[in-house]
A and B are shown apart, each in its own frame.
Chain A
Amino acid sequence: MNRINKVLKEKKDILSIYFTAGYPNIDDTVEIIKQLDRSKIDMIEIGLPFSDPLADGPTIQESSTKALKNGMNTFKLFEQLKNIRNITGIPIIIMGYFNPILQYGVENFCKDCKEVGIDGLIIPDLPADVYIKKYEKVFKKHNLLNMFLITPQTSNKRIRLIDEISNGFIYMVSSFSVTGTINSFGKEQRKYFKRINDLKLKSSLLIGFGISNNNTFKDAINYSQGAIIGSAFIKFIKQYGINKISDFIKKIRS
């Protein structure tokens, strides 16, 4: 069983942490994973930096720009992750925009993901219809799950379609929002979470965007199986460096 599916089967309060590969320093990638492993989080999302990350806010864009300046690229990332499965058993997802993956070659990319032990992908600008038509087979061949996003604007009909083709979790975007712009959930968001829950989907739901502290994390797991934290984590390592990661995780979990 894919590591992601195993965690989804076993846990109810999943904490997934996103960070940008090659940030703050090019060689921090593996060290961050080690620390996240020690902090006992449930999933890791590695961001493959892109020059033009449309769906991300200023924090992640800034970390991507810095990572690219540091010399990060797809080839380098796979090199860094070569022995990662000797270090951690936590499910790892790569989140990347489509163009760098396209240039690497989608098949090549999937093959290398499998080789280093990646469990799934989030490619925000690869639309569902193109995925089904052209890439589903390749992903499946290399045992990679593909996670789709839904938003408050996504119609029930489309959510059903996404549920149908999902084989991991559905990434529920918490608001009309690029990453990292809100601090607590409001009435509208709760209504939306409830609407989605009432659809009784077969796929697990994880909430992302706007989860920044213990408060929002707890709130998120009331409406889903877990939450993804990105911008708040990047801000933390920007301020405190990568050696205090366990403090951040403890605070979220407390």
Chain B
Amino acid sequence: MHKSYNVDSDGYYGDFGGAYIPEMMYSNINELKSKYLEISSQADFIKEFDELLKQYVGRPTPLYFSKRLSREYNSKIYLKREDLCHTGAHKINNTIGQILLAQRLGKTRIIAETGAGQHGVATATVCALMGIKCIVYMGEVDIKRQAPNVARMKMLGAEVKPACSGSKTLKDATNEAIRDWINNPIDTHYIIGSVVGPHPYPDMVARFQSVIGLEVKEQLLEAEGKENPDYVVACVGGGSNAAGLFYPYLDDLKVNIICVEAAGMGIKTGKSAATSILGKEGVIHGSKTLLMQSKDGQITEPYSISAGLDYPGIGPMHANLFRSKRADFISITDKKAMEWGLKLSRMEGIIPAIETSHAFAVLDKKKFMKKDIIVFNCSGRGDKDLDTYINYFKL
């Protein structure tokens, strides 16, 4: 019998997922679980969501055929241009969906976590749009590293609260956001930025991001006369841009899925974020998944030059894609990713986010056939990474 790679009715993807939450979160998670499908399938919700994606985000984003890359790598290479979304990355697809949901749940206060600041900016943006109070938790270390995004959030009217506990980065910002929610369970909705956290978050975020893959189907049909590429490729930190691209292809086994993780300085250096290889099954932020941890179950700090990929876990959908071998997992070092950031800029005139650069580096690691159609998720633009690029290449 064919098994689905999508979420089951208990909130699991194979062995992974579920809701491992303290009782203090139960009522909110349970409310979301019982209402997210109903609300997001109502006609007025769909209408408002689609309109905002079109008028405000700028969707559909182009599916761009890259002649030069295709020639060099002797196959058909397409880029799904999520970097052209308002605010510069795919993140806003999810925040638009969740803000509409929060409004329908009667919530008047929004909290979010952010690492590099992209999700924080996307959340602050939709809160400004809707006139809703917004608090973004961000690790103290990240606040120093990502000053422009902190400034953007402030301009948009959000309050940026530093997470000073633990390692003072993304996972700690997530802890602080969860604590805030525990203390403010009635008026507040927590907009998680990736396909992580307790059920129904991974499925809910994947559904809001699935617009990426659904557009690819239509656009590819027009360009190639068929809906399905041979490969879909995306970088994976928590995994939301990947989930969005893969979503309509999960159970279509003829479409090969490639997840690209950050190897950092190298898998064996102790400075890496390649969770599928280095992680073990465990529970992080309310979800059973693969995560990087010590022998006795303490969550460890990952490393990648790209702030969007250094999360110690991956979404439960991806953990299942890995364990079931439905997807190939390839890891790319900082060095390779940075080279591709420059290469894509020079060959296509597109400066990608460093997260996104990781995905393209697969072209040097894997051999494709001439007839292969490969769709890359060009998930974000590189403006936010200019400092890193400047320092790295001494520009």
Residues of A at the B interface (CB closer than 8 Å) are: 50-55, 57-58, 61-62, 65, 68, 73-75, 97-104, 124-127, 130, 148-151, 153-155, 158, 173, 176-178, 181
Which residue of chain A lies nearest to B280 when distances are taken between CB atoms in the complex? A103
Among residues 263 to 288 in chain B, which have CB atoms less than 8 Å away from a CB atom of chain A? 280-286
| CB of B62 to closest CB in A, whole Å | 40
Q: Could you say which residues of chain B place their CB within 8 Å of the CB of A62?
A: 165
B344 at the interface (CB under 8 A from A): no
Taking a contact as CB atoms under 8 Å apart, the answer to whether B175 and A126 are in contact is: no
- Closest Cβ–Cβ distance, residue B372 to chain A (whole Å): 40
Q: Is B19 an interface residue (CB 8 A)?
A: yes
**Of B28, B182, B296, which contacts A74 at CB under 8 A?**
B296
Q: With A and B bound together, what is the CA distance between A74 and B21 in angstroms?
A: 21
Q: Quick check: B282 and A153 within 8 Å, CB to CB?
A: no
**CB–CB A54/B26 < 8 A:** no
B22 interface hit (Cβ, 8 Å) = yes
Q: How far is the CA of A158 from the CA of B286 in the complex (A)?
A: 20
How far is it, in angstroms, between the C-alpha of A85 and the C-alpha of B193 when the chains are bound? 48
A-contacting residues, B108-137, CB 8 Å: none
| In the complex, chain B residues whose CB is within 8 Å of the CB of A73 | 296, 298
User: What number of A-B contacts does a CB cutoff of 8 Å give?
Assistant: 113
Judge whether B23 and A130 touch: CB under 8 Å: no
Taking a contact as CB atoms closer than 8 A, the residue among B19, B185, B284 that contacts A99 in the complex is B284
Decide yes or no: A50 and B23 within 8 Å by CB, A61-B166, A125-B286 being known contacts.
no
Name the one of B21, B26, B179 contacting A154, with C-beta atoms under 8 angstroms: B26
Beyond A52-B166, A52-B284, is A104–B296 a contact (Cβ under 8 Å)? yes
Q: Do residues B175 and A127 form an inter-chain contact, with CB atoms below 8 A?
A: no
Asked whether B27 lies within 8 Å of A102 as measured between CB atoms, the reply is no
Give 30 pairs: A residue, B residue, CB < 8 Å, sorted on A. Answer: A50-B297, A51-B166, A51-B298, A51-B299, A52-B171, A52-B299, A54-B175, A65-B165, A68-B298, A74-B296, A74-B297, A99-B293, A99-B299, A101-B297, A102-B282, A102-B283, A103-B293, A103-B295, A103-B296, A104-B296, A104-B297, A124-B23, A125-B22, A125-B283, A127-B21, A149-B24, A151-B27, A154-B26, A176-B184, A178-B182
Say whether A173 contacts B166, CB under 8 Å. no
B148 to chain A, nearest CB (A): 28
Which A residues are in CB contact (< 8 Å) with B19? Answer: 127
With a cutoff of 8 Å between Cβ atoms, the chain B residues found around residue A130 in the complex are: 18, 20
Task: Give Cα distance in the complex from A73 to B298, angstroms.
Answer: 9
Are the C-beta atoms of B182 and A55 separated by less than 8 Å? yes
Q: A55-B24, A103-B280, A153-B185 are contacts. A50–B175 as well, Cβ < 8 Å?
A: no
Which chain A positions have C-beta within 8 A of B280? Answer: 103
User: Are A178 and B20 touching (Cβ within 8 A)?
Assistant: no
Given contacts A177-B182, A178-B183, contact A99 B27 (CB under 8 A): no
Among B21, B171, B175, contact of A125 (Cβ-Cβ < 8 Å): B21
Whether B297 and A54, one on each chain, are in contact in the complex, defined by CB atoms closer than 8 angstroms, is no
Contact A176 B185 (CB under 8 A): yes
- C-alpha gap A104/B19 in the complex (Å): 21
When C-beta atoms are compared, the residue in chain A nearest to B281 turns out to be A102
Most chain B beta carbons < 10 A, residue from A54, A68, A103: A54
Contacting residues of chain B (1-58) with chain A, CB-CB under 8 angstroms: 18-24, 26-28
Alpha-carbon gap, A199 to B346, bound state (A):
70
Closest CB-CB distance, B292 to chain A, in whole Å?
11
Q: Is B178 an interface residue (CB 8 A)?
A: yes
Say which residue of A58, A103, A125, A158 sits within 8 Å of B297 (CB atoms): A103
**Interface residues in B287-308 (C-beta closer than 8 Å to A):** 293, 295-300
**Shortest distance from the beta carbon of B313 to any chain A beta carbon, whole Å:** 11
Contacting residue for A100 out of B20, B172, B281, B296, CB 8 A:
B296
CB < 8 Å neighbour of A148 from B23, B165, B285: B23
Contact flag A154-B27 (CB < 8 Å), given A55-B22, A103-B282, A176-B182 = yes
